[in-house]
Amino acid sequence: MNSTRLNPLAEDYLGRLEAAARVLPNQDREDLLLELRGHLEAGLAEDASDADVRNLLNDLGSPEEIVAAAALESEAGPPIQRPREHLGAFDESASPWGTFEVLAVLGLTVGTVLIPIVGPVLGLGFAWASPQWTRREKWFATVLTFLPVIALVLGAGVAMNQGPSRPVSNAPLSHLIIGVLS
């Protein structure tokens, strides 16, 4: 914006704020520094005494206090809900989404599109490695994965008599279904 030199006490305060604000995301840090410089510029007359400066700084609170508030705001949305740690613990004990399960669904969905054949095969591998899905669910996933292939083979005979077949497999769709079902 501009770099009017403020009273040394105020500049010193902004320096401390800048140092404390290193933990914040870049954009948040710049906004915060700009706002507080603006605050001091607006609040201090050119001939402000050190006592005036101290009063204004005192009302602002310490740089560390401000940065702590900013860190809370930028990570957690509304200030009252801060369940991060609890969520983590909950994920590991009760959620059906462990590493294997996530990799399985990724392989069977995105993987199918990005690396045909390899993606779904890896996905199935992860699905069978899952400690949380039942054997029945794993068979279901496997059959669903190969369903388009089976359907294509069965349909091939019919299609051959009826002109060009649709070359696009609907595999990704069936994999999405697996994801939802599981």
According to CB under 8 A, which one of 6, 20, 70, 124 is a site residue for other proteins?
Answer: 70
Find the shortest distance in angstroms from Cβ 40 to other proteins: 9
Smallest gap from Cβ 17 to other proteins, in A, equals 8
Rule CB under 8 A: say whether 19 interacts with other proteins: no
Using the rule CB under 8 A, is 26 a contact of other proteins? no
User: What phi and psi, each to the nearest 5 degrees, are found at residue 96?
Assistant: -75, 5
Nearest to 123, CA basis, from 136, 142, 137: 142
Instruction: Based on the shown chain and the rule CB under 8 A, indicate whether residue 47 belongs to the binding site for other proteins.
Output: no
Helix, strand and coil in the chain, % to nearest 5: 75, 0, 25
**Cα separation of 123 and 108, whole Å?**
5
| Axis-axis angle for helices 118-129, 135-161 (nearest 10) | 150
Q: Does 14 bind other proteins (CB under 8 A)?
A: no
**Would you tell me which residues interact with other proteins (CB under 8 A)?**
1-2, 4, 28, 31-32, 35-36, 38-39, 41-43, 59-63, 65-66, 69-70, 72-74, 77, 79-80
